[in-house]
Structure 1
């Protein structure tokens, strides 16, 4: 395991804590996906993997003794490959091991191509109270280009099943797709709105390294100007229908912001269990990051030996301003100035030079109690974040 020393920090109180659970298998890996997902070959090892997750959690408990979890997110991969019985067993066993807030948001990602009404009902009975559906598009040609295993009719059917069972659900939509026009993107978002979800995530398709799309870039991707027009158009439509834009790609009805993701974006803590899962955990004098073994089979074998954690790093205090801003400046309203000290243990003065430079370039707005990105800063977020890198000499 790699270890990096850090300058001493002083955190007077620890930030909120969430639990992330990674399910690494998919029926078929999408060509744009850079998450840790693996094509399922043969039968799903449900029981073995649930046991591995619980063994992982057991070994992590000393790091979070006495702390309460505010949310749980079951992501992937395709968590909906797992039966309702398996999810019920997992969540029941977790509740016996950790302090979970009675108001905890418990989200589970679901692929429309794997939705079964019985499973959806069982997920709710198990304690899941929020579903995130990976729709991506309602256009069959676009779905085919994205390598999705569902078509538009299956997407609509899946939404209807979820909507009859869950009051709180999110729909994922991707825009700036190959050969997609502005009216095409608008049609997707209007169809998503028609199902009255509480939350919509609208992502600009990006070509990530080590994906199929990186090797074979699709023909007909919209140019940057068209992408910005699509984004502005979708933001306006969503606003007209009561969805507040609160994070770069996230829109929610009042009171339905994703609490789990908000904790990420406010530089809160999270314990990640499962193949390839990441953790960020604070202590009164340090902040650590961990990463589990990515390969499902190796993860399951190593977790029984306590050798499943590949990286265990203490974050250097010089890197904390960048890490903090990388999350909080994704929020449209930015962050309260006191949050920097509360969640990093450092005075805000440590980040003052790049903050003033960003203000000079009109990328952020510095208010008495808040710092937030301007519209320009939202559009050029990567340029804004680079300014906070410890080794940035510009």
Structure 2
């Protein structure tokens, strides 16, 4: 396949630079998809009748007002329209949502505003409408660059659709990313290396590269349990992961998080807010939030079923079903869990302030000696590439 023309990198200057601070993000969940992928356990729903977008928009705006009362005044550093398939929204819906966020909080010019999109739902006119509404970054769910695996993954697009969407996104938006899933059945390291190099050749500035996981409650889970779907074993998965790190680093797109790779300066600001353990308001069916309130952090979760959420919001002004006050110890554990995913690691002073202690010397020494973690000066702690392969175990050890 021909390599696409390189983008104009000077366009990136229009977005505000990353300050390194956690920031405050707003996440809006559009829960509808044209079809449910067999590997997906996200809160996504298929509806065979048109969705009443005006009614859902009014509910989003109501819930925003409720979240603003919980969060107090904030300056928004990023917005993320996720799903589901947000690119099924009308541009007028997106415009109304972004206007609502700007009404409730301070939203400076130049912040990152991301929308997820599927190649099968991409149209040039719709993309231009999203850009006019204020979206300046798009994340495409490409998932594979061959038609056989796209069919296996239940995607509605083919490679031709994907390349068309990539080109449109690059022509219209200042920044773009796309997702790929690897560790697919029978996938070899050589096949993945070729596919990954092809993806990088399309001159994106950001790639999200996820290993295929078998999630309970999905069609793939049932097939895997019956032995009809066999995924790579741990050794093969590790080899695929290591090849991913080597190729992306060599091509100038090193990992800045376990599954995310970017050219310097093109990291996802919104996702950095999660991983740096910042605050974020979660709006829409099944959305989660974290809002600092004095010494505690309020964890929120809304009703997952779209129509039930809609009725709750119309009745009560919000669809929040769960509110939990997280104390210092719980915040310290979450900070560690999120921060160790990042190449920049965890701010030790912040962790010590929350937890009230230093890392256990014996546990830290063990992990250091075995090459799973390393100190960055005296201020930060991070996982090594070897530690990233056993990230959950490293977090558990340090959190004890």
**Contact conserved, 2:220 with 2:229, CA < 8 A, in 1?**
no
After superposition, residues 316-335 of structure 1 pair within 5 angstroms as: 316-335=327-346
1:353 and 1:108 mapped to 2: Cα distance? 44
- Alignment of 1:285 onto 2:292: no
Partner of 2:261: 251
Aligned length: 375
2:153 and 2:203 mapped to 1: Cα distance? 24
With a CA cutoff of 8 Å and minimum separation of 6, indicate the structure with the bigger relative contact order.
1
Partner of 1:202: 209
C-alpha deviations, 1:10-69, integer Å up to 9, x for none? xxxx95211000000111111111111111221022111111111101111112222111
Shift in alpha-carbon separation, 1:388–1:297, aligned structure 2, 3 A = farther
1:101 and 1:248 mapped to 2: Cα distance? 30
- Alignment of 1:349 onto 2:349: no
2:366 and 2:47 mapped to 1: Cα distance? 49
Partner of 1:119: 126
How far the C-alpha of 1:388 sits from its partner, in A, is: 4.5
**Contact conserved, 2:82 with 2:116, CA < 8 A, in 1?**
yes
- Alignment of 1:134 onto 2:134: no
User: TM-score scaled by structure 1?
Assistant: 0.90
1:351 and 1:126 mapped to 2: Cα distance? 50
Superposed CA RMSD in Å reads 1.9
**Contact conserved, 2:71 with 2:293, CA < 8 A, in 1?**
no
1:184 and 1:350 mapped to 2: Cα distance? 42
Partner of 1:51: 58
**Contact conserved, 1:70 with 1:103, CA < 8 A, in 2?**
no
**Contact conserved, 1:142 with 1:178, CA < 8 A, in 2?**
no
**Contact conserved, 1:321 with 1:388, CA < 8 A, in 2?**
no
Q: Which of 30, 37, 45 is the matching residue for 1:38?
A: 45
> Equivalent residue of 1:330, what SS?
coil
Deviates more, 1:217-226 or 1:284-293: 217-226
**Contact conserved, 2:77 with 2:112, CA < 8 A, in 1?**
yes
How far the C-alpha of 1:179 sits from its partner, in A, is: 2.0
C-alpha deviations, 1:222-269, integer Å up to 9, x for none? 222111211221222222221121100011011101111011111111
C-alpha deviations, 1:73-124, integer Å up to 9, x for none? 0000000000112111221222122111323110000001100100111111
Q: Which of 200, 213, 223 is the matching residue for 2:220?
A: 213
C-alpha deviations, 1:348-387, integer Å up to 9, x for none? 5277675455435542113412101122211111211222
Which consecutive unaligned segments of at least 5 residues does structure 1 have?
Answer: 1-13
2:159 and 2:144 mapped to 1: Cα distance? 7
Partner of 1:8: none
1:65 and 1:110 mapped to 2: Cα distance? 31
> Equivalent residue of 2:358, what SS?
helix
How far the C-alpha of 1:184 sits from its partner, in A, is: 2.1
- Alignment of 1:225 onto 2:232: no
After superposition, residues 1-394 of structure 1 pair within 5 angstroms as: 16-217=23-224, 219-306=229-316, 308-341=319-352, 345-349=354-358, 355-356=364-365, 358-359=367-368, 361-366=370-375, 367-388=377-398
1:39 and 1:50 mapped to 2: Cα distance? 18
**Contact conserved, 1:278 with 1:289, CA < 8 A, in 2?**
yes
Which consecutive unaligned segments of at least 5 residues does structure 2 have?
Answer: 1-20
